[in-house]
Amino acid sequence: MTATMFHKTILPAVFACCSLCAHSQTAANKIIDTKNAPAPIGPYSQAVQTGNLVFVSGQIGKDPVSGTMKNDNIKDEAAQVMDNVKAVLAAAGLTMDNVVKTTIYLTDINDFKQVNEVYGSYFKADYPARETVEVSHLPAGAKVEISVIAERKQ
C-alpha cells in the first residue's frame, strides 16, 4: 500500500470511527470536586468524568465538616462512606441510580454482613456490579472504603 492510498482510504476510516465513539482523544476529563465530601488526602481527585462515565475515588468514613472519622462502629462508618459517595455523585449531577460498578474494601471481612446491609439501603433494584475485597490497611484508620463508577445516561 502506498502512502497516498493510506492517506485516502485508511486514515479517513480511522477518523470517522473515532468521531462516532463515546469518547474522543481530544475531549478533556472533567474533575469533580465538592466540599460536601472529604478532601483528597493525596494526589488524586474526588472524581473524574470522561465521556459518560464518572469514576469516584475510594471514599472513607471521614465527616467532611468536622474532618473526623466516623468509625465508632462499622455501620456508622459505612453510612458515612456512602453519604460521601452520594455527595461526590451529586457534585457531578448524578445519583446512586447512575452507579454501574462498585468496589468495597474491608479491613475485616467479618464486617461484610453489616456493611452489605448499609450499602444495600442506598440502592434500589437493579443493583450495580460489585466486588468486595479484604485488605490489610486503609487510609486514616478506616475499616471500609468504597469506590464507584457511574454512567451519565443520555
What does each of the 154 residues of the chain score in pLDDT, given as a tens digit? 444 444 454 444 444 444 444 444 446 899 999 999 999 999 999 999 999 999 999 999 999 999 999 989 999 999 999 999 999 999 999 999 999 999 999 999 999 999 999 999 999 989 999 999 999 999 999 999 999 999 998 7
**DSSP symbol at 29:** P
Residue 90 lies in a domain: yes
* Helix/strand/coil for 1: coil
The answer to whether the beta carbons of residues 105 and 58 sit under 8 Å apart is yes
Say which CATH number the domain at 83 has.
3.30.1330.40
Task: Please report the pLDDT score of residue 27 as a whole number.
Answer: 67
Whole-angstrom distance, CA of residue 61 vs CA of residue 82? 8
The answer to whether the beta carbons of residues 95 and 68 sit under 8 Å apart is no
Residue 50 lies in a domain: yes
- Whether the pTM exceeds 0.85: the reply is no
Structural domain for 38, as ranges:
28-151
How many independent structural domains does the chain possess? 1
**DSSP symbol at 96:** G
Say if strands 99-106 and 144-151 run parallel, antiparallel, or are unpaired. antiparallel
